[in-house]
Structure 1
């Protein structure tokens, strides 16, 4: 199974973020914030579907879960898989038994939840979180979709649109035939039908704005109840906006909020951030005896430590230097590590603009000066020194790399370099 297989099938089964939604009434009414306290589950604990539509999507979800559970995309760390499930359990409370969680390799900032309780967590999400509370905020949002049964609503909407698509295509075929019969070009009819059906197909893949607002409100309520600071949800979106601005700036492009367009079914990012902030303040104002908030930063760092190098490498390989450098510097807010300095150097090396070679070399040198430098930092540092004409120091650094990684895939190449 490939990443695209998971994402595309998940899009139809579990939904995602909406692309084509139009709302009647005033903009103010359509964009009104939903109060977290108003959110309740639309199905009782232990719910099993009896409705034909819902049984159908549960069956499709179960088939997908069978594939995911044995996929090569799964992160090969039982401890990380258990940790993600533990956080979901805390968020779901007495409904924790209804969920299964799978952490999969995919660099996108994403998570999703199927109507049967299967949740997918992408490594791109793990890479960007600063603490457990932020991670819980995104998982709480997905649990909100699940508890509000948004997939069923979207499935029924999909059935209606599928019928419209079939009608449009049939009408286009008749029109094309008539046009061709009188010597015209019937292709324009097919093009028109494809255009209409393409827009409908996009809207079938994702949740609508109202559903996203409900999931936001429910998610904040869930993490607040679980004892995480509710403002963590707003922090995530503030970070995401900052990352996208940095990415655009590095590409010398103007930042545009794609979710602010008429065809987007996600609330605009700025509005979403404002709503989440207002909801968190609202929840903070409710005094609950004995409640203490904890972002669980230390626990998060301990859980991510075994895979942090892979998470960062996955992001840097995307070669989006603005985003990569933003992420590295943001994580360094808690202090620079050898791993962060090494990845800073890799981001500069891949960007390869004027002055970046010197910046990368400086970052590698700073990395190996720290006691927790990864072996790869010594390799990068060694080659940088060789390019600067510092043969002895460069070979010494490469030798340290080989001592730490004698069976590395590139060990033969490094030995060849040392023999020159």
Structure 2
């Protein structure tokens, strides 16, 4: 992102999964063997060169802004959990890393040369177990350990002429004040306000960098005791979600990484390489290491966040992707929360037959003990639309009983009294 240029955030992130997974095809994309990967950054590294010190200063300023902003997920428990997963991956470098989970529905994670990692809430909604979560964080750690940000930083400066360090001032203050509660705030707003070249140095890794991070990430999760095929499973799920999203929009699925403008490996090639790397590590490990995806730990950590994560996804107005995610989660068993959100997707899509589909989902939701109070409200209004007045009012009354102080309590009482 160049200073004062207007960039679409989704265009920057859209080619694949931003930092977490970028992609492109090419005959020269020979797979990197994960077992051969080693860190380029020594333990306890601190920069000595001038331009690298400037990049670190920008990153440290950004971390200060994020740590004090309303971008952070207000869950100290999950923040600690995410840090524990990173610590397990990086071992003796645990003291170098800090992890911040931030509100952002995009599937993404990013790691900076100072050891700061940002994890989007949109990532959490798509993971099925801790191993999958670790595979994304491991990929980011791969960028960190191979010092990819520095080479991108230097390349960006050479191509754009942007100064190595641009002090945030009044002319770019909008991004900083956004972190204090302004509209449209995200970490890229803050980063761009501090240093315009910082965003590109983190978000636009080269094809070679992405392949290295893929390989290193698989190695890190395997060494941490996670099944090494977890990374390929995430990529397989992501491709399926994209296809569902395209189908929901009545569009033909196109791998944007195949564009002539893309500089990253193609999705199918990415999936194939990750699959082979996972099998390769299983074949060469002779220590008898036992793998555990830690699904129970993941489910326990995410459970308190699940309702907000699903609501965040549904608000994206991408019914194909949302239904895919809800149904994928339901592979472990339907819950009231999942049925309710299924109904919300249908209600918001509002195509022919969706009103009945939504009503069916809401009715199924209240049949579960964990049905959210909002399911009773939705079920009540669906019944009223069907002319089943007394049943509808009873359902709305159940909602009020569970949410007596709800903001819409007055409107609900009005509906009951009609």
Q: TM-score range by the shorter chain?
A: 0.7 to 0.9
**Alignment partners' CA distance in 2, 1:130 and 1:205:** 25
State the TM-score, normalized to the length of structure 2. Answer: 0.85
The answer for the alignment partner of 1:398 in structure 2 is 396
Helix, strand or coil at the partner of 1:121: strand
Deviation at 1:414?
0.8
1:175-232 deviation line (CA, Å, top 9, x unaligned): xxxxxxxxxxxxxxxxxxxxxxxxxx97995101100000000000000000000100
Change (3 A) 1:203 1:150: closer
Summarize the Cα distance change of 1:204–1:77 in structure 2 as closer, same or farther, 3 Å threshold: closer
Deviation at 1:17, TM superposition (A): 7.5
SS at match of 2:125: helix
Distance 1:203 1:262, change over 3 A: farther
Structure 1 residues 205 and 367: alpha-carbon distance in aligned structure 2, compared to 1, 3 A threshold:
closer
Separation in structure 1 between the aligned mates of residue 399 and residue 71 of structure 2, nearest angstrom: 29
Q: Which residue of the partner structure matches residue 319 of structure 2?
A: 321
More helix per residue: 1 or 2? 1
Using the TM superposition, give the Cα deviation of residue 20 of structure 1 relative to its aligned residue in structure 2, in angstroms. 12
Distance 1:331 1:112 in 2: 25
Quick check: 2:22–2:265 contact (8 Å CA) kept in 1? no
Given that residues 113 and 146 in structure 1 are in contact (C-alpha distance below 8 angstroms), is that contact kept between their aligned partners in structure 2? yes
1:412 maps onto 2:417 in alignment: no
1:224-268 deviation per Cα after TM superposition (whole angstroms, max 9, x unaligned):
000000100000010000000001011110000001222212211
The DSSP-based 3-state class of the residue aligned with 1:74 is: coil
**241, 246, 249: which one aligns with 2:247:** 249
- The answer on 1:378 being equivalent to 2:380 is no
Written as runs of structure 1 = structure 2, the 5 A alignment for 1:61-80 is 61-80=59-78
Within 5 Å, give how 1:20-419 maps onto structure 2: 27-28=26-27, 30-163=28-161, 205-419=203-417
Partners of 1:56 and 1:286 in 2: how far apart?
A: 42
Deviations 1:267-291 (A, max 9, x none): 1110000000000000010233241
- Cα offset for 1:163? 3.4
The match for 2:166 is none
Q: Which runs of 4+ in 1 moved over 6 A?
A: 17-21, 201-204
Shift, 1:164, TM fit: 9.7
Structure 1 Cα separation of the partners of residues 283 and 122 of structure 2: 33
Report the alpha carbon displacement of residue 53 of structure 1 after superposing the two structures with TM: 1.6
State the Cα deviation string for residues 11-48 of structure 1 (Å, max 9, x = none).
9xxx9489999x9xxx42x2110000121110111111
Of structures 1 and 2, the larger Rg is shown by: 1
1:408 CA drift (Å) = 1.3
Q: Which runs of 5+ in 2 are unaligned?
A: 1-5, 164-198
Count of paired positions: 372
- CA–CA distance in 1 between the matches of 2:285 and 2:29? 28
For structure 1, the 5+ residue unaligned runs are 166-200
Query: Contact between 2:149 and 2:202, CA under 8 Å: does it hold in 1?
Result: no
